[in-house]
Structure 1
Amino acid sequence: MTVSALVALYLRNGLLTSHLAALVLVYFLGGALSWLVMVPFARRYAGHRPPTARFAAFFLALSIGTAVMTAFLFAMDYRWFYARWHAPFGTLVWIFQFLFTSASAVYQFAVLGFTLFLPLGLLCLIAASVYLTRHMR
């Protein structure tokens, strides 16, 4: 997913961004953490089903898991940046600020960040799903 994001950023603006290192880290961790959680989850539910069902399970689990994990990490980075202007931890105002900051970060990721998965991410997702379908224990 990191390579996909880098290719998309290169095609979009030649990697001219001041947040390249943070973006690389978020997309790498989003893909890696999703893989660690979603592959065992999909293996458990794919079971001894036909290959098409196993492929669908891996495809869905990895695509949704990667998008959700990356959006979560993006939201936590966003929240960390804005935390200095928020109310003290645990107050009602803090809860509202946390929820709305996270929601706006997920929205921003959905609009701007999700497209960074598309140059190579879809191909990698299909290849990984085919590989996992064939080599399921």
Structure 2
Amino acid sequence: MNGVEDDDGCPEDGRAKLSGKRIEITERVYFDTGKTTIKPESYGLLDEVAQVLAQNPQITLLRVEGHTDDQGADLNNLKLSQGRAEEVRNYLIQRGVSPDRLVAAGFGEGQPVASNKTEDGRATNRRVEFIVLKVQ
């Protein structure tokens, strides 16, 4: 597994893969409710993100984005999403990714991808995304 969609013979069945200008993940990154603490069940997924970065040194800057649903105060959601993005960034650094390659950004509830009127929609909006900003 190398996390890149191509025909190099390496299997592509991992949970994290480079796809255009982002690293797509097939699972959510889970946190303790209302906190920035990453749940242990997400460590393997984040290890795969770190592996994709290790195998793609041409990615010189990646933005780790944190997003929330619309439950709670706007400012609290913004702080929570920023804190979660920073925690993911720190985790990736602990796994060997250079800090110079990573920036963290929290967007709070400002960029929903689903309706916040249902629990499923809110769960979809509580997410972490990985956006490639610079390639060398």
> Do both proteins adopt the same fold according to a TM-score greater than 0.5, normalized to the shorter chain?
no
TM-score by length of structure 2 reads 0.31
Which protein, 1 or 2, shows the higher relative CO under an 8 Å CA cutoff with sep ≥ 6? 1
Structure of higher CA gyration radius? 1
